Copies of this chain bind each other. A is one copy, B any other.
Amino acid sequence: MVRDKEETKRKLLAAAVQEFAEHGIAGARVDRIAKNAGANKAMIYAYFCSKEGLFDEVLKQQVDAAIEAVPITADDLAGYAGRLFDRYVEHPEVLRLAAWHRLENGFDAIPEAEAKAYVHKVAAIAEAQEKGELPQHFDPEELLSLVVHLSILGFSSPVASRDLVVRSVDQLLRSR
């Protein structure tokens, strides 16, 4: 038997991602996470304090990874929306985790990394507008909200495709 704290934490986190994404916080079962990780339940409390502590860590890691994986391209918001769409298709867990989190904890309590990335993205859009790379008929915050929201269209409608997401962002950016 190999004893490795970091490895055990990793396996617990990996199992927790699946469990929480599928069942949410209230629906997740601590015993199931431990079993699927091939670890002992007590380790969860040793390493993450509580079920909620484990969820917080899971969400943080997933949000960080998603933010890093899809950097904004302010001069090509349609492409950015498409890449977000792709990311969510490949890693639907992060969207589900965020949705559970918002439903269970209200609209406040946004992960810190998300808030920080938000500021940066708004600034990038504002700059692109000044350079004339983007139209001005939406504020930077508005544009970011619209693009991000449209990129998750596929999780609200079954008929939505990547192409539709890109085309609609494109249409939003057309000059008037």
Contacts and interface: CB of A to CB of B under 8 A. Distances in A.
Interface of A: 23-27, 96, 99-100, 103-104, 107, 137-138, 141-142, 145-146, 148-150, 152-153, 155-160, 164, 167-168, 171-172, 174, 176
Contacts of A159: 141-142, 145
B107 A99 contact: no
26 contacts: A23-B26, A23-B104, A24-B27, A24-B104, A26-B26, A26-B27, A27-B27, A103-B103, A107-B155, A107-B158, A137-B167, A138-B168, A142-B159, A145-B159, A145-B164, A146-B150, A146-B153, A148-B156, A148-B157, A149-B149, A149-B160, A150-B150, A152-B156, A171-B176, A172-B172, A174-B176
A84 to B, nearest CB: 13
Nearest to A23: B26
B103 A96 contact: yes
B160 A153 contact: no
Contact of A149 (B26, B157, B167): B157
In the complex this chain forms, how many copies of it are found? 2
A171 to B, nearest CB: 5
B99 A103 contact: yes
A104 B174 CA distance: 38
A49 to B, nearest CB: 20
Nearest to A173: B171
A32 to B, nearest CB: 13
Contacts of A156: 145, 148-149, 152
Contacts of A148: 156-157
Most-contacted residue by chain B among A25, A26, A171, A172 (CB, 10 A): A171
